[in-house]
Amino acid sequence: MKRNPMTKKQLEQELADMRRSFQELEKCRAALEKSKDEYEKLFEAAPDAIVFVNRQGKIVLVNAQLEEMFGYAPGELVGRELGVLIPERYRARHAKYVAHYFEKPGSRPMGVIFEIYGLRKDGVEFPADISLSCLQLDEETLTAASVRNITERKLIEKKLEHNYHIQRVTSEVLKIALEPLSLVEQLDRILDLALTIPHLALQSKGGICLIEEETGDLVMKAVRGFAPSEQPPCLRIAQGRCLCGKAVVTGKVIFSDCVEEGHEAGAGLPFPHGHYCIPIIAGTRTLGLINVFVKEGHKRRESEEEFLVAIANALAGIIERHRADEEKIRLQEQLMQAEKLAALGRLTANVAHEIRNPLTAVGGFARRLHKSVQPGGREKEYADIIVTEVGRLEKILNNVLLISRDAELEKGNHDIHNLLDEILRHYGPLCRERSIEVSKSYRITLPDILIDREHAREAIMHVVGNAVDSMPTGGSLTISTADESVEGRPFVDVAIRDSGKGIPEELQKMIFEPFFTTKGPQKGTGLGLAIAKKVMEDHGGSIRVKSRIGAGTTLHLLFPAAAAVPGDGKEQTED
| Distance of alpha carbon 524 from alpha carbon 527, whole angstroms | 8
Q: Are 497 and 556 a contacting pair, CB within 8 Å?
A: no
Question: Which pLDDT value is given to residue 72?
Answer: 93
Question: Which pLDDT value is given to residue 120?
Answer: 92
| Distance of alpha carbon 57 from alpha carbon 463, whole angstroms | 96
* Alpha-carbon distances, residue 80 vs 9, 76, 137, 145, 271 (angstroms): 59, 8, 20, 16, 47
Q: What is the mean pLDDT of the chain?
A: 78
Question: Which pLDDT value is given to residue 290?
Answer: 85
Question: Which pLDDT value is given to residue 153?
Answer: 87
Domain boundaries, the chain: 46-149, 155-328, 329-404, 412-574
Please list the rounded mean pLDDT of every run of 10 residues in the chain (575 residues). 68 78 76 61 67 87 87 90 90 84 74 76 90 78 86 85 78 83 86 72 76 79 77 72 78 77 50 79 86 80 82 86 84 76 66 68 73 74 76 67 63 87 87 87 84 83 85 87 82 88 76 64 62 81 84 88 54 52
Out of 3.40.1160.10, 2.30.30.40, 1.10.1740.10, 3.30.450.40, the CATH code matching 155-328 is 3.30.450.40
Question: Which pLDDT value is given to residue 416?
Answer: 86
**Which CATH topology does 329-404 take?**
Helix Hairpins (1.10.287)
DSSP string, 94-123: HHHHHHHHHHS---EESTTTS-EEEE-TTS
| Distance of alpha carbon 428 from alpha carbon 420, whole angstroms | 12
Domains 46-149 and 155-328 share a fold: yes
Parallel/antiparallel/unpaired status of strands 236-237 and 449-451: unpaired
| Distance of alpha carbon 19 from alpha carbon 109, whole angstroms | 51
DSSP string, 479-490: EEEEEEEETTEE
CB neighbours of 470 closer than 8 A, spacing ≥ 6? 498, 500, 501, 552, 553
Q: Which residues pair with 476 in a beta bridge?
A: 437
Q: Which of 574, 450, 472 is nearest to 519 (CA)?
A: 472
Question: Which pLDDT value is given to residue 222?
Answer: 85
pLDDT in tens, 370-394: 777 777 777 777 777 777 777 767 6
Identify the three-state secondary structure at position 527. Answer: coil
Instruction: Identify each DSSP E strand in 243-343 by its residue range.
Output: 254-256, 274-282, 285-294
The CATH code that applies to domain 412-574 is: 3.30.565.10
Question: Which pLDDT value is given to residue 71?
Answer: 92
CATH 3.90.226.10 corresponds to the domain 46-149: no
